Structure 1
Amino acid sequence: MSKIVLNQGIRLSLMIITLGMTSVIHPGADAQDTPPIFGDITINQQFSPDPFTVRGMSGGSVPGRKVAGRAETPTGPCTGFVDTTPGHTLNLTNRFEYLKLLVESPQDTTMIVKGPGGTWCNDDFEGKNPGIVGEWLPGIYQIWVGSYEKDKYFPYTLQITEVE
């Protein structure tokens, strides 16, 4: 499990526990050389680095529309297949007038975000990569990154940015 905290662009604490090994990135360490895998992210406005990047593996066996509770949202279709649990939890401590989440993967991926005010889905925001842009309320958001094909798992990076 990972825990990432970004406050006013100056603090970063991260703990990764993988296969019984523990790694800690201390404040001032260059976390962007090797983005963390999965985990919980907490950010305030004007976080740093921007964009902030985390990694994961897309896919699962549950249809995206089942997790989202619908087939379509204003941000796009709830397609693809995901795991039952989200790959990331994003805690926004403030309201963001603009925030963009963008997945980058060599394969076709999808995204579902559940949080304050509703559920949002996307597929093919930039090419075959999903993304969601807009105004975000403070609170906790669950993020699933899916694969277009059932039981296919692909590496991805999730970028979070305040920059338009």
Structure 2
Amino acid sequence: MPRKVIKLGIKISFIIASIAIASIVKTVAFADETPPPIFGDVSISPKFLPDPFQVRGMSGGSLPGNQVVAKRETSTGACTGFVDQKPDHQLELGKKFDYLKLQVDSPEDTTLIISGPGGTWCNDDFDGKNPGIVGEWLPGTYQIWIGSYNRDEYFPYTLKITEAK
């Protein structure tokens, strides 16, 4: 076989191998950067990982938040905004948390309603236009609604759950 054909075959094999390796490296490099789930339910216990744990969704609905939970205000704030009848997330806490923070991150004005063991908590504007709830949490199941301040407006958000103070 002529030398040129052998060299060309080696070069082609090298190029194919390089492309294959590059695609594997790219896949591995981005494997840890998968976005948080959308409208996911969460089940955690103390010392959970990753911290913060994140889930995403779209805020808003057509029902006033205070009608959904039959409260106008709680110790953490007014039950404002508009939500869907069904909660956006369910949070299952396997054990008591001495400290846990739930905070919504959205480019627009959102509200937060949480109902579970021990009561109902609402918040608006914890950090700028983003709501949040901080404190001691009992074990059990919590229903979480992320609302928009105005009726029938829907905005993307990330709900961050952390034990860090």
TM over 0.5, yes or no? yes
Structure 2 CA distance for aligned equivalents of residues 124 and 109 of structure 1: 8
Q: RMSD of aligned C-alpha atoms? A: 0.9
The Cα of 1:46 is off from its aligned counterpart by 0.2
Supply the distance in 2 between the matched residues of 1:41 and 1:89 (Cα, whole angstroms): 6
SS in 1 for 2:145: strand
Of structures 1 and 2, the larger Rg is shown by: 2
- Give 1:87's aligned residue: 88
Q: Distance in 2 between matches of 1:103 and 1:34?
A: 16
Contact kept, 8 Å, 2:40 with 2:56, in 1: the verdict is: no
Structure 1 residues 107-146: Cα deviation after superposition (integer angstroms, max 9, x where no partner): 0000000000000000000000000000000000000000
What is the CA distance between 1:68 and its match in structure 2?
1.9
The match for 1:4 is none
Bigger proportion of residues as helix: 2
The residue that corresponds to 1:55 in the other structure is 56
Contact (CA 8 Å) 2:62, 2:152: kept in 1 or not?
yes
Question: Residue 33 of structure 1: CA displacement?
Answer: 3.0
The DSSP-based 3-state class of the residue aligned with 1:39 is: coil
Tell me how far apart the structure 1 counterparts of residues 81 and 121 of structure 2 sit (CA, whole Å). 14
Instruction: Indicate the residue corresponding to 1:68 in structure 2.
Output: 69
Aligned residues between the structures? 135
Scaled by the length of structure 1, the TM-score of the pair is: 0.81
Q: How does 1:3-152 map to 2 (within 5 A)?
A: 30=32, 33-152=34-153
- Measured against aligned partners, the alpha-carbon deviations of 1:31-83 in whole angstroms (never above 9, x if no partner) come to x6311001211001100010011000000000010012111000000000000
Give the unaligned 5+ runs of structure 1: 1-28
Q: Report the Cα distance in structure 1 between the residues aligned to 2:62 and 2:103, rounded to whole angstroms.
A: 22
1-structure distance, mates of 2:110, 2:41: 21
Give aligned-pair identity as a percent.
68
Give the letter for the 2:64 counterpart.
Answer: P
